[in-house]
A and B are shown apart, each in its own frame.
Chain A
């Protein structure tokens, strides 16, 4: 076959593969599917429930109350100038977004094998939809945070003030999404053949929360356990959560360099995840 004729093929299904296969044109063609998947994820969660979307509010609220009682009232972890409840709510809201992205993405292949086994569409659409639908949930939970924030600000006269670093909040959100997506894609690819990773995710996420400065300030950890503090300090999630608290409450360990570190970390993990994901999507249906 001469090369002239070769060019006319629309696409080739082959055993060979590229390292990263992110076809934006194709993903754009399937944009309606992304929207529908997001809608499905958001809408179906509260179908046949009475409280409906209220559940999105209840979960972070109650977790914050419990954390405040246990860690601040009982264990007396200091939260600086910020009210303990708001401190915890800020930590949990941002942690939740990462956690949801991670756990949902990590089951991409195993929970969608029915669809994946029958029809083709760019597989990466599912993680994209996951991140977007979680962004909506994150937005709702952020709303809760803002409501309580205003309450504390006006009625409790708390010593909190947002500052100019809040302008970098989108970078923070993107970093969280990249981290959740990247780790999630790596894990989802590994679980297709060997299910060991599913067990790891279940309690690994729990453990990671304790190492991510969700319920304590990093400064407190450094003072109490200096020998182990590197573990928490280099964790990009710590940076993200501390930065979020600094932006909104004015307490926390924040610098542009640290934020950049977390962002670059996120990009690297995301690219790694994409490579692994691409390798797996081609024939995971044979091994799942």
Chain B
């Protein structure tokens, strides 16, 4: 497939702070340099866009030296934390703002869905707004007319279609707006977080439509989302942005892991110094949580077995009296359940024990979990308790196409036995 979109050395600088007399003097300085034929003095300064650091410069680079090519028919995911420059990139692509330096060349027409429902006029009816919104997005009247009934049906607002949009609920507005946008037919479609709207039912419909667009119709799509399940399922390739720079570009799965690894919140291995967690009876050496068959560095995926490994040194003469128990908590501190080596009939021996406990695949919902460690004596009292000894994050895996991408309620999703009786 040939290259349809080429981004070369793209940078975008923003000025921080308020617009006031300070900006006026900067504007004069810029103009003064310009009429003398010199380069803009403010392009040389400017920091990378790291919000957590306190830097002096009033200028930051929201994007810096972005280079990549998009081939026809590719669905590219753009991921990154808030403030990484994703939206700025999409804004430049959709020509809402222009780059500070560099350029983008394209062979196709680009249409963007940066937040749907732009240009809805509250006084106009749903139908009038379909035409107005469609035209704003670049459709001709004839195109909209040919798709009008489809759009109305897709939105599910048939009954309200001749009522002014100001009487609509916010959900209906979004549905109508997405419906208009979904029937756009540009060569390159730019989508920013539209899946965050609507109820589960509509989300399903929206994602289904997006899959039709990208897979069925072979359209080129640039897709920005924080929904890793959606990115994994829809995209053929992904780009990770961090502080305005591309830090990873390639395979979607690798990109998602790269992005999630950057999350310092997870700590899948915990090594204890001797005497850190130690009594005359035992000392705890190491804890590991990871996917079976994967490394400790990899993020923990919901669709693989998860191993919890405990390395414990039992010093007592009667090791059979002791058992390891864990309590599992969610991120807001609700206890979910407890599990114990006593239940598994495991007998510890004197010296270093390496115990593993395996959770079956598709057991956890995505989310962050905390474990509390207990050493139980004689199966009746706790010899030792350590709260939140380790925490781990389970992430969404890719899902089958057409399946709900959001997070279902609850924390575990056990696989019960289901049968059909005649």
Report which A residues bind B (CB closer than 8 A): 8-17, 29-30, 32-33, 35-37, 40, 43-44, 47-48, 114-121, 193-194, 282-283, 285-287
Interface size on B, residues (CB 8 A): 45
| Chain A residues whose C-beta falls within 8 Å of the C-beta of B97 in the assembled complex | 282-283, 285-286
A–B complex contacts, Cβ < 8 Å, 30 sampled: A8-B107, A9-B6, A9-B106, A10-B106, A10-B108, A13-B93, A15-B101, A15-B103, A30-B135, A32-B141, A37-B132, A40-B121, A43-B123, A44-B121, A44-B124, A48-B123, A117-B118, A118-B94, A118-B119, A119-B94, A119-B96, A119-B111, A119-B112, A119-B118, A119-B137, A282-B97, A282-B98, A285-B91, A286-B97, A287-B19
**Cross-interface CB contact of A121 among B106, B107, B138, cutoff 8 Å:** B138
**Cross-interface CB contact of B131 among A30, A36, A120, A282, cutoff 8 Å:** A36
By the criterion CB–CB under 8 Å, are A40 and B14 in contact? no
A69–B166 Cα distance when bound, in Å, is 42
A203–B34 Cα distance when bound, in Å, is 34
Find the B residue at minimum CB distance from A9. B105
Which 6 A-B residue pairs are closest in the complex by CB-CB distance?
A: A120-B95, A14-B103, A118-B118, A33-B135, A13-B104, A282-B98
If the complex has contacts A47-B123, A283-B97, are A119 and B114 also in contact, measured as CB distance less than 8 A? yes
Q: Check B115 for interface membership: any CB of A closer than 8 A.
A: yes
By the criterion CB–CB under 8 Å, are B109 and A10 in contact? yes
A8–B102 Cα distance when bound, in Å, is 19
| Chain A residues whose C-beta falls within 8 Å of the C-beta of B23 in the assembled complex | 193, 287
Find the B residue at minimum CB distance from A288. B19
By the criterion CB–CB under 8 Å, are B96 and A285 in contact? yes
A47–B121 Cα distance when bound, in Å, is 12
A166–B27 Cα distance when bound, in Å, is 48
- In whole Å, how far is A262's beta carbon from the nearest beta carbon of chain B? 32
Find the A residue at minimum CB distance from B3. A5
A230–B105 Cα distance when bound, in Å, is 53
**Cross-interface CB contact of A193 among B19, B101, B105, B137, cutoff 8 Å:** B19
A47–B165 Cα distance when bound, in Å, is 13
Q: Check B352 for interface membership: any CB of A closer than 8 A.
A: no
A33–B135 Cα distance when bound, in Å, is 5
By the criterion CB–CB under 8 Å, are B118 and A13 in contact? no
By the criterion CB–CB under 8 Å, are B119 and A115 in contact? yes
If the complex has contacts A40-B124, A120-B96, are A9 and B107 also in contact, measured as CB distance less than 8 A? yes
By the criterion CB–CB under 8 Å, are A14 and B135 in contact? no
| Chain A residues whose C-beta falls within 8 Å of the C-beta of B135 in the assembled complex | 30, 32-33, 36
By the criterion CB–CB under 8 Å, are A283 and B138 in contact? no
- In whole Å, how far is B188's beta carbon from the nearest beta carbon of chain A? 10
A282–B12 Cα distance when bound, in Å, is 13
- In whole Å, how far is B360's beta carbon from the nearest beta carbon of chain A? 45
Report which B residues bind A (CB closer than 8 A): 6, 14-15, 19, 23-24, 27, 91-109, 111-112, 114-115, 118-119, 121, 123-124, 131-132, 135-141, 164
By the criterion CB–CB under 8 Å, are B137 and A12 in contact? no
| Chain A residues whose C-beta falls within 8 Å of the C-beta of B138 in the assembled complex | 30, 119, 121
| Chain B residues whose C-beta falls within 8 Å of the C-beta of A283 in the assembled complex | 97-98
| Chain A residues whose C-beta falls within 8 Å of the C-beta of B95 in the assembled complex | 13, 120
**Cross-interface CB contact of A118 among B96, B100, B109, B140, cutoff 8 Å:** B96
By the criterion CB–CB under 8 Å, are B98 and A13 in contact? yes
| Chain B residues whose C-beta falls within 8 Å of the C-beta of A14 in the assembled complex | 98-99, 102-104
A194–B94 Cα distance when bound, in Å, is 26
A117–B109 Cα distance when bound, in Å, is 18
**Cross-interface CB contact of B104 among A12, A16, A47, A48, cutoff 8 Å:** A12
Most buried by B among A14, A47, A115: A14
- In whole Å, how far is A250's beta carbon from the nearest beta carbon of chain B? 43
| Chain A residues whose C-beta falls within 8 Å of the C-beta of B136 in the assembled complex | 33, 115, 119, 121
A30–B109 Cα distance when bound, in Å, is 14
By the criterion CB–CB under 8 Å, are B19 and A32 in contact? no
- In whole Å, how far is B364's beta carbon from the nearest beta carbon of chain A? 38
By the criterion CB–CB under 8 Å, are A194 and B96 in contact? no
By the criterion CB–CB under 8 Å, are A15 and B107 in contact? no
| Chain A residues whose C-beta falls within 8 Å of the C-beta of B27 in the assembled complex | 193
A287–B23 Cα distance when bound, in Å, is 10
| Chain A residues whose C-beta falls within 8 Å of the C-beta of B119 in the assembled complex | 114-115, 118-119
If the complex has contacts A9-B107, A115-B136, A119-B136, are A15 and B121 also in contact, measured as CB distance less than 8 A? no
A218–B138 Cα distance when bound, in Å, is 48
Find the A residue at minimum CB distance from B98. A282
- In whole Å, how far is B2's beta carbon from the nearest beta carbon of chain A? 9
- In whole Å, how far is B243's beta carbon from the nearest beta carbon of chain A? 19
A13–B103 Cα distance when bound, in Å, is 5
A48–B123 Cα distance when bound, in Å, is 9
A37–B134 Cα distance when bound, in Å, is 12
A40–B91 Cα distance when bound, in Å, is 26
Most buried by A among B6, B27, B96, B139: B96
- In whole Å, how far is B185's beta carbon from the nearest beta carbon of chain A? 14
By the criterion CB–CB under 8 Å, are A15 and B96 in contact? no
A13–B96 Cα distance when bound, in Å, is 11
A21–B354 Cα distance when bound, in Å, is 72
| Chain B residues whose C-beta falls within 8 Å of the C-beta of A29 in the assembled complex | 140
| Chain A residues whose C-beta falls within 8 Å of the C-beta of B15 in the assembled complex | 286
- In whole Å, how far is B347's beta carbon from the nearest beta carbon of chain A? 65
Find the B residue at minimum CB distance from A122. B95
| Chain B residues whose C-beta falls within 8 Å of the C-beta of A282 in the assembled complex | 97-98
- In whole Å, how far is A107's beta carbon from the nearest beta carbon of chain B? 16
- In whole Å, how far is B17's beta carbon from the nearest beta carbon of chain A? 12
A193–B30 Cα distance when bound, in Å, is 15
If the complex has contacts A11-B106, A36-B132, are A115 and B118 also in contact, measured as CB distance less than 8 A? yes
Find the A residue at minimum CB distance from B141. A32
Beyond A9-B106, A13-B99, 14 extra complex contacts between A and B, CB < 8 Å: A10-B108, A11-B106, A13-B103, A14-B104, A32-B141, A36-B131, A44-B124, A47-B123, A118-B94, A119-B94, A119-B112, A119-B136, A119-B138, A193-B19
By the criterion CB–CB under 8 Å, are B102 and A15 in contact? yes
A77–B118 Cα distance when bound, in Å, is 51
- In whole Å, how far is B70's beta carbon from the nearest beta carbon of chain A? 13
Most buried by B among A14, A48, A115, A119: A119
